[in-house]
Chains A and B, each alone.
Chain A
Amino acid sequence: MNLRKYLAFGTAIAMLAGTAALAGCSTEETTETTEEVTTEEVAELEGSITVQGSDTLLNVATAWSEAFMDENPGVDISVQGGGSGTGIAALINGTADFANASRGIKDEEITEAEANGVEPVEHKVAIDGIAVVVNPASEVEELTMEQLGAIFRGEITNWSEVGGADAAIVLLSRDSSSGTYEYFKEEVVAAENEDAEYAASAKLLPSNQAIADEVAANEAGIGYIGLGYLTDDVKVVAIDGVKASVETATDGSYPISRFLYMYSNGEVDGVMKAYLDWILGDEGQQLVEDEGFVPLP
């Protein structure tokens, strides 16, 4: 009797999945119609743009699209997250007009794009400053890049080795798929030796917020988070004597900051160009700052 119940339930789920798949097909069809509209140059901006990609950029990308649509009622912009890889794949498949990425496009992806007749063009849209944070109760105020690298490689394991209390260091990192993880690895962990890895004991947390929360709760914790996630519950550690802030990231004196990108297929024109110019203009860059990133200089 029970088995039959499960079978019935299974079929119900399968049917639901079927309808969901059908719905998926129909949305793909609608996005394909966008390009015809975007090529027309009209005085009153009209058209629709599909943006997909990086979760780091998701908040600011949503803010951009909302503000831009307010000013240009004829324009329809849809923004989706999913990750840099997802966004670039969508650009290559032609289901997105812009791919948001928190990392540069990889050679493998360029090859695949060219095979599909897509020519990815890179646009820098903002700067992300990455602050190194510890618990406010920690005595450590400053680290050198070498010390920071050694800590995240697992070579320095006790806070007393860098002027703190005698306690084991709890390493908190972004997940290995995050663009921030790769950036931090290149600039800090493997700065001197390309083959160096993060310590295996580093806890990999799914978001900036998760790291901020754990550092705020754990006196032995150290982690790295985007400037937008800084609160009074965590303490910023100066790196080589410079504290992370919008000012130090803009003037280049803070060593750990990176660009965030949008990719398009070929050079942009029409409504896409208008949108990109607006993002790079004063209003767009003001939103960058409001969302906790650093505007382009």
Chain B
Amino acid sequence: MRGLIYACGWLAIIILGAIAAFLIHNSVRAIQEAGIGTMLSTTAWYPTSSPGKFGLLPLIVGSLYVTGVALLVSVPVGVGAAVFISEFSGRRVKDVMKTIIEFMAAVPSVVYGLIGVAVLIPLVKDIFALDSGMTALTGGVVLGIMSIPTVITISEDALHAVPADLRRGSAALGNTRWQTTYKVTLPAAGSGIFAASMLGLGRAIGETMAVLMLTGNAAVMPASVLESVRTMTGTIAAEMGEVVQGGLHYSVLFAVGLVLFIITFAINLAADLVLERQRKRWRR
């Protein structure tokens, strides 16, 4: 039994390693023929021209724009909601809220995409007087809404884990409930809230269907979030079905996946390092 549990633990690492190896193996042709330097420094993405032009820069920037907007939406709203649920709501409200949030997380992304197409695209077009409402902002806002449940759930866990003694101590010093929250509880749960934001970010950068429906997918270097962008995930999803399997374009799509993998890996690693540093500081 113990061996089985150990094996399961190692399996996760093996799978991760296998994914990395698979991505690298399939990207080799792209790295050799299209050139990794060319891919990461040029901005023309015309993969089906002959010869194909494989400039990944617009896709990388597009993904970062959409994810940035998503974070600006999900973190303030998510943390605010977590604070309300954990610190200010009664038991009954808390139960209802948690059920609703779980339901939010269960809605398929294509449904969020549909709602975005019907509601948000015309709204963004009208508010900013644009030619078209398919922008990085539109996609980012919907992704932000989609990652709110992740942020709320994990932030709320972190706030819940703050010892009651800290709150009581703060109250004994004459702090109001609100003062206790932002002076004591929130800083104490800081690392957990940071982790929540990072997981929310992970959800946003990897999401595919909704961005495909909402961002317009034009492979341009966007000057602002009010322009159409093409994300890495959207590109892979849209193009994989039609490429010549084993061809150069196929390999380039794996290279895009590799870049995405490296970015998310780096974000997670950075987040872990920050958390670790914070933990050490708290120990002192």
Contacts and interface: CB of A to CB of B under 8 A. Distances in A.
A203 B216 contact: yes
B204 to A, nearest CB: 18
Given A82-B241, A200-B219, A213-B117, A7 B213 contact: no
Contact of B49 (A89, A197, A214, A221): A197
Nearest to A86: B241
Q: Which of B132, B212, B213 has the most CB of A within 10 A?
A: B132
B12 interface: yes
Contact of A176 (B48, B131, B213, B216): B48
B37 interface: no
A214 B134 contact: yes
B9 A201 contact: no
A177 B238 contact: yes
B253 to A, nearest CB: 10
Contacts of A179: 242
B239 A220 contact: no
Interface stretch (B81-89, B139-147, B243-251, B276-284): B243-251
B228 interface: yes
A108 B241 contact: no
B23 to A, nearest CB: 16
B244 A214 contact: no
B230 interface: yes
Contacts of A109: 244
B122 interface: yes
Nearest to B132: A170
A178 interface: yes
A191 interface: no
Interface bracket on B: 35 or more
A176 B47 contact: yes
Contacts of B132: 170, 203, 214, 218, 220-221
Contacts of B9: 7, 11
A20 to B, nearest CB: 13
A106 B244 contact: yes
B121 to A, nearest CB: 7
B167 interface: no
B217 A85 contact: no
Contacts of A203: 132, 134, 216-218, 228
A89 B245 contact: yes
A166 B271 CA distance: 50
A204 B48 contact: no
A204 B235 CA distance: 10
Interface in B7-63: 8-9, 11-12, 15, 44-49, 58
Nearest to B192: A2
Contacts of A88: 244
A85 B12 contact: no
B94 interface: no
Nearest to A101: B242
A181 B245 contact: no
Contacts of A210: 117, 213
B188 interface: no
A210 B218 CA distance: 14
Interface in A78-101: 81-86, 88-89
B241 A204 contact: no
Given A176-B48, A217-B122, A218-B125, A204 B244 contact: no
Interface in B205-259: 212-213, 216-220, 228, 230, 238-247
B46 A176 contact: yes
Given A85-B245, A88-B244, A177-B238, 16 more contacts: A11-B8, A82-B241, A84-B242, A170-B132, A175-B217, A176-B48, A179-B242, A195-B49, A201-B218, A201-B220, A202-B218, A203-B216, A204-B218, A206-B213, A217-B122, A218-B131
Q: Which 10 A-B pairs have the closest CB atoms?
A: A83-B241, A177-B242, A203-B216, A177-B239, A89-B245, A11-B8, A204-B217, A83-B242, A175-B238, A85-B242
14 contacts: A2-B157, A7-B9, A11-B11, A14-B15, A85-B241, A85-B244, A86-B242, A89-B245, A108-B244, A177-B238, A197-B44, A200-B58, A203-B217, A206-B217
